Structure 1
Amino acid sequence: MTTPVPAGDPAADPVAVLGECVADAFVRPATGPVRTLAIGLDVLPGGGPANTAVALARLGTPTRFLGRLSADVFGRLFRDHLAGSGVDLSRAVAASEPSTLAVADLDEEGRADYSFHAEHTADFGWTPQELAAAAHGPVSCLHTGSLALVRPPGGQAVEELLAEVRGRATVSIDPNVRPLLVDPGAYRRALPRWCAATDILRLSDDDLAHLAPAGTSPEQAADTFHADGARLVVITLGADGVFASLEGERLRASAPPVSVVDSVGAGDSFMAGFLHSLHRAGALGGRLDALRGDQVTDALAFGARVAAAVCAVRGANPPWRRELAGF
């Protein structure tokens, strides 16, 4: 069991999460005649980076969200959700563009099929000046990825920010491939650059299927990512648990059994649990030079618990620390 780092330690600085908020609209089956389009939508705050920020804060990690938040009804929903979870929004940008919307249709196993409405929305309009102001000041880790890292016009500016932040904090990247919005080829071309810029690279097994040749094992993929510069590679495998490679040291943790309602936000919440554990161990703040395999294994197991708790409820609704006892 890890203990909190002492006050004044650089690793006590907040974790900053940079990226998008997305309004997840879940389709409710029609109750009227079949010939009508009388469907209902339940709208929940989501978006991979925002989910991670919420989960981190609810676990007790000091968390700062670096995002561009619209003034529309969804932007107000995001602000209330993030602030109500304890996330610091002092560096968030008030954006004039509309919010990003994703309509999710769930299958019988709880997997979501999305249609996205993301053109000219607030999340992706970062300028270098906005990013410099948002990321200014001490942080132990900058976690980013998903659409904000790859979509124009702001994606290139976000990527360029990593080189500056890497001089003073741990960098963590979760590509979170969205093939409906961005050609996976764009992720594949960028991945070697991201590995060179990051300390922690997290992928899902679905991401790996998009980014590596067919039949590539997690071990083979990790070796490639290590060669490109990533020190710690983490690959989540759904019900098969999670695999990690710390500079070639192979580590695993199992997934807790859970009755799945849906898997929305599970990977984002896993990453929050993983970073939370490393933060409390005092392992963040630099290049992970002193990170041990047992600390990684503890973080994998804790992240898997957080992900299981999210799978047990509808939507990306990460647990508070006190709610984890059952997982």
Structure 2
Amino acid sequence: MPQRPVAVLGECVADAFADSSAGQRPGELALRVLPGGGPANTAVALARLGTPTRFLGRISADPFGALFRQHLRGSGVDLGACVDAAEPSTLAIATLDPHGQAQYSFHAEGTADWAWSAEELAALPLADVACLHTGSLALVREPGGRRIEELLARADGRPTVSVDPNVRPLLVAPAVYRARLPHWCTAADVLRLSADDLGLLLPGVSPEEACDSWHRAGVRLVVITLGGRGALASLDGERLTVPAPATAVVDTVGAGDAFTGGLLHRLGRLGRLGGRLDGLTLDEVGDACRFAARVAALTCSVAGPNPPWPADLRAAAPRESGRPDPA
């Protein structure tokens, strides 16, 4: 039976990095622009791993929009349901600290990603998808955020719903995410977030306590990525941790998005996407998280949000464990 697609709903962002190698003259600043945005990065990771992936976004007709289309299509993502938007693309200026961690300043007012109309969302092809993944700024920037939230509520258990809050405090106050997260949890089956997100959403609350609160709100599977310390996964309150593979970090841009892509890809291959994760076991969660951690580690080993292809995973597997691990 053909594998049902995963739909990813959200933004594309042009990530611009200062390029000191460009030989610019005094008084100039050269920027190297990479296609990014959390949902777009997750769609790329899924498609490269072999999951049929449908991106649902509003993509501008400007040069950045052309870059997004080329990148997504080149990774195997289906763009047939995207909206051709008249508004400009969202731009983020990124700087890297000595550990490869990115900090962003955003240019996001009046851009294409948040301007969803109710009619555009109603026309999206979702009847055949196994999973609907969304999150990041698309869920909190208006006018589209509330409308996407309503779309999740209408999913009603048909596709598995996955949410990644991906808190961006420079653009949206964490209090806004805190107020909206309970609504997302009533619709979500999978919640993936980072330790940084947790600190902003529930300051002073332990990962275990946070998992329990989100389970009570309705989420079956919570995965909190902990950077170099691996990840904590909680399925209906049963928990496990997985380590992060050793890797030489170039930067961490897109690593969390790649983890989400790897997690959903593996759950799909296990036949667990579609519906409310019925039959999912903690052993299967551990398998999916270990695979996702490998995908994230390989993303950290290269510059920018550049998740691996299956050949990259096969090439790395003998070095990691002495045996291949098929995607």
Q: Which TM-score band applies after superposition, normalised by the shorter structure?
A: over 0.9
Which residue is 2:151 aligned to? 161
Question: Is 1:266–2:258 an aligned residue pair?
Answer: no
Question: Is 1:132–2:122 an aligned residue pair?
Answer: yes
C-alpha displacement at 1:167, in angstroms?
3.7
Which residue is 2:290 aligned to? 301
Aligned pairs, number: 315
Q: Secondary structure at the match of 1:134?
A: coil
C-alpha displacement at 1:199, in angstroms?
0.4
1:185-236 Cα offsets, whole Å, 9 max, x none, are: 000001111111100011100000000132x211111001111111111100
Q: Secondary structure at the match of 1:142?
A: strand
1:77 is matched with which residue: 52, 67, 70? 67
Question: Is 1:204–2:180 an aligned residue pair?
Answer: no
Q: Distance in 2 between matches of 1:147 and 1:103?
A: 16
Question: Which runs of no fewer than 5 residues in structure 1 stay unpaired?
Answer: 1-5
1:83-115 Cα offsets, whole Å, 9 max, x none, are: 111001111000000000001011111111111
Which residue is 1:174 aligned to? 164
Which residue is 2:175 aligned to? 185
1:56 is matched with which residue: 30, 46, 52? 46
Q: What do you get for the CA RMSD once the two structures are aligned?
A: 1.2
Q: Distance in 1 between matches of 2:241 and 2:197?
A: 18
CA contact (8 A) 2:59 2:113 kept: yes
Q: Distance in 2 between matches of 1:157 and 1:177?
A: 19
Q: Secondary structure at the match of 1:220?
A: helix
Q: Distance in 1 between matches of 2:248 and 2:132?
A: 33
Q: Secondary structure at the match of 1:298?
A: helix
TM-score, length-scaled by structure 1: 0.94
1:49-68 Cα offsets, whole Å, 9 max, x none, are: 00000010000000000000
Q: Distance in 1 between matches of 2:71 and 2:175?
A: 34
Which residue is 2:5 aligned to? 14
Question: Is 1:146–2:160 an aligned residue pair?
Answer: no
Which residue is 1:282 aligned to? 271
Q: Using CA pairs below 8 Å that are at least 6 residues apart, which structure has the higher relative contact order?
A: 1
Which residue is 1:28 aligned to? 19
Q: Distance in 2 between matches of 1:167 and 1:279?
A: 16
Q: Distance in 1 between matches of 2:148 and 2:33?
A: 28
Q: Distance in 1 between matches of 2:24 and 2:311?
A: 41
Question: Is 1:256–2:245 an aligned residue pair?
Answer: yes
Q: Secondary structure at the match of 2:123?
A: helix
Which residue is 1:322 aligned to? 311
C-alpha displacement at 1:289, in angstroms?
1.6
Q: Distance in 2 between matches of 1:245 and 1:207?
A: 17
1:227 is matched with which residue: 205, 216, 239? 216
1:277-304 Cα offsets, whole Å, 9 max, x none, are: 0000000000012101111001100100
Percentage identity across paired residues of the two chains: 63
Q: Which amino acid counterpart does residue 250 of structure 1 have in structure 2?
A: R
Which residue is 2:281 aligned to? 292
Q: Secondary structure at the match of 2:277?
A: coil
C-alpha displacement at 1:137, in angstroms?
2.6
Q: Distance in 2 between matches of 1:193 and 1:157?
A: 12
Q: Distance in 2 between matches of 1:113 and 1:274?
A: 25
TM-score, length-scaled by structure 2: 0.94
C-alpha displacement at 1:29, in angstroms?
2.9
Q: Distance in 1 between matches of 2:197 and 2:78?
A: 29
Q: Secondary structure at the match of 1:269?
A: helix
C-alpha displacement at 1:32, in angstroms?
6.2
Distance change >3 Å, CA 170–CA 163, structure 1 → 2: same
Q: Distance in 2 between matches of 1:39 and 1:124?
A: 29
Q: Secondary structure at the match of 2:47?
A: helix
1:113-138 Cα offsets, whole Å, 9 max, x none, are: 11100000000001111011124431
